[in-house]
């Protein structure tokens, strides 16, 4: 059994290549009966349709959309927020019969896959900044999520306003506030920001959130002391636990913890409870993202819910649409027992 190509199949079925092609791609170009006959004959032969690589070369589109994660696959895969986003993406992609190519934001060559995909959905600024330049130059469609690229459509929430509201909801005028921030500076370990230069000031959601927190604090004339602002490189338990422990050891001890992710907030609460600190009496905590685990935890967490699966669906729709205007998605502040 030699290679099954459109041409070879056409010959064995005794019809023209165009007819086979039409049977698969343009049902309106031939009678239902013939189409049925051809399709079943192909299935019989083991021919599953035109070669996608050739099709892609010919038509210029492959039906594959690349999602560029901000970091490595392993990291993303362990982050409930990212995976919820991916869930929405795959769901919406499926509706359009499109496929997903996951790509790591820490890889070097975007062009290794660039010719195979119809475009890019970029979830967070890629860790490897060289990718940003390549994306900027790409002739294909690029949609950014949680950050912006000049001239490209984007999907975001209003991080500054959301952070502001969440902070306003927990802070009182006599509070001591500490912030557990995510990816604020260019360091791969957990540490106080102090005077380290803030990273990538413009587009980072972390800085927009920080702005929001500080706006709320300013309204109470509270100032954020440098050692009360911590940088956490990744939203995971180990990093967060260390940061929480450090911050809770400060004197005076913070009475409010503003956390840039729910995972961080949960770790911080665990740590606080273990130290015998009462929540919310002695310490109020607010998170960001909205993950289900916070509802099962006791005390339940006050947080900004951003419905990442909906965001994923919206991202795909924005990617597919011709509209290039930036899109702001709704979020919701949900108060729990932690404030």
The alpha carbon of residue 116 and the mean position of all alpha carbons in its chain are separated, in whole angstroms, by: 22
Give the residues lining the site for DNA (CB under 7 A): 3, 5-7, 14-19, 21-22, 24-26, 29-31, 33-34, 49-51, 54-55, 57-59
Q: Kindly state whether residue 274 participates in binding its own copies, applying the rule CB under 8 A.
A: no
Residue 86 contact, options DNA, its own copies, none, Cβ 5-8 Å cut-off depending on partner type: its own copies
Distances (CA, A) of 330 to 102, 286, 305: 26, 19, 9
| Contact (Cβ atoms closer than 8 angstroms) between residue 248 and residue 267 | no
59 binds, among DNA, its own copies, none (CB under 5 to 8 A by kind): DNA
Query: Per the structure block, which two tokens stand in for 293?
Result: 């685990």
Task: Count Cα neighbours of 137 within 13 Å in the Cβ-side half-sphere.
Answer: 7
7 binds, among DNA, its own copies, none (CB under 5 to 8 A by kind): DNA
Query: Residue 306 binds which one of DNA, its own copies, none, with CB within 5 to 8 A depending on kind?
Result: none
- Note whether 112 binds its own copies by CB under 8 A: yes
Q: Is residue 17 part of the contact set for its own copies (CB under 8 A)? A: no
CA gap 212, 253 in Å, rounded? 22
Tell me the residue length of the chain.
339
Cβ partners under 8 Å of residue 179, min gap 6? 210, 213, 224, 228, 229, 230, 257, 258, 259, 260
- Environment class of 228 (CB within 10 Å of its CB; exposed 0-12, middle 13-18, buried 19+): buried
Which residue lies nearer to DNA by CB, 40 or 59? 59
223 binds, among its own copies, DNA, none (CB under 5 to 8 A by kind): none
Per-residue x/- marks for its own copies, 68-107, CB under 8 A? ----xxx-xxxxx-xxx-xx--x---x----xxxx-x--x
Q: Which of DNA, its own copies, none does 270 bind, CB closer than 5 to 8 A by kind?
A: none
CB atoms within 10 A of CB 277: 16
Asked if 62 interacts with its own copies (CB under 8 A), we say yes
Q: Which is nearer to DNA, 58 or 298 (CB)?
A: 58
In the complex with its own copies, the residue whose CB is nearer, 54 or 223, is: 54
Which one of residues 17, 19, 51, 176 is an interface residue with its own copies (CB under 8 A)?
51
User: Least distance in Å: CB of 107 to its own copies?
Assistant: 8
What is the distance, to the nearest Å, from the Cα of residue 35 to the centroid of all Cα atoms in its chain? 42
Q: Which one of DNA, its own copies, none is in contact with 15 (Cβ closer than 5 to 8 A by kind)?
A: DNA
Cβ neighbourhood burial of 208 (10 Å; 0-12, 13-18, 19+): buried
Integer Cα distance of 62 and 49 in angstroms:
14
Ramachandran assignment for 250, one of left (phi > 0), alpha (psi -120 to 50 degrees), beta (any other): beta
* Options 19-27, 29-37, 58-66, 268-276: segment touching its own copies (CB under 8 A): 58-66
CB of 45 to its own copies, least distance (A): 12
Among 26, 29, 116, 295, binds its own copies (CB under 8 A): 116
To its own copies, the closest distance from the beta carbon of 48 in angstroms equals: 5
**73 contact choice in its own copies, DNA, none (CB below 5 to 8 Å, kind-dependent):** its own copies
CB 114, min distance to DNA, A? 12
Give buried/exposed letters for 283-299 (b at 16+ CB in 10 A, else e): bbbbbbbbbeebeebeb
């Amino acid at each position: 059994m030699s290679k099954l190509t459109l041409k070879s199949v056409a010959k064995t079925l005794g019809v023209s290549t165009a007819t086979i092609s039409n049977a698969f791609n343009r049902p309106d170009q031939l009678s239902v009966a013939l189409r049925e006959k051809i399709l079943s004959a192909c299935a019989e032969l083991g021919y599953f349709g035109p070669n996608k690589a050739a099709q892609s070369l010919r038509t210029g589109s492959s039906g594959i959309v690349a999602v560029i994660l901000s970091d490595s696959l392993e990291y993303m895969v362990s982050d409930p927020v990212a995976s919820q986003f991916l869930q929405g993406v795959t769901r919406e992609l499926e509706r359009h019969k499109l496929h997903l190519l996951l790509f790591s934001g820490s890889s070097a060559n975007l062009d290794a896959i660039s010719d195979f995909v119809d475009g890019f959905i970029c979830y967070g600024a890629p860790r490897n900044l060289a990718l940003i330049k390549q994306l900027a130059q790409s002739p294909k469609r690029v949609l950014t999520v949680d950050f912006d690229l000049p001239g490209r459509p984007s999907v975001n929430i209003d991080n500054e306003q959301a952070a502001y509201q969440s902070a306003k909801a927990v802070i009182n005028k006599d509070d001591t506030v500490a912030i557990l921030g995510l990816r604020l500076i260019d360091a791969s370990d957990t540490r106080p920001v102090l005077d380290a230069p803030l990273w990538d000031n413009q587009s980072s959601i972390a800085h927009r959130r920080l702005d929001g927190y500080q706006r709320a604090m300013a309204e109470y004339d509270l100032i954020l002391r440098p050692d009360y602002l911590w940088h956490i490189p990744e939203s995971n338990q180990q990093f967060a636990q260390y940061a929480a422990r450090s911050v809770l050891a400060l004197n005076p001890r913070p009475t409010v913890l503003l956390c840039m992710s729910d995972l961080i907030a949960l770790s911080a609460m665990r740590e606080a409870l273990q130290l015998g600190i009462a929540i919310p009496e002695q310490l109020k905590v607010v998170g960001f993202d909205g993950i289900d685990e916070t509802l099962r935890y006791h005390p339940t967490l006050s947080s900004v819910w951003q419905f990442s699966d909906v965001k994923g669906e919206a991202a795909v729709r924005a990617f597919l649409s011709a509209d290039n205007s930036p899109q702001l998605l709704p979020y919701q502040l949900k108060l729990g027992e932690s404030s």
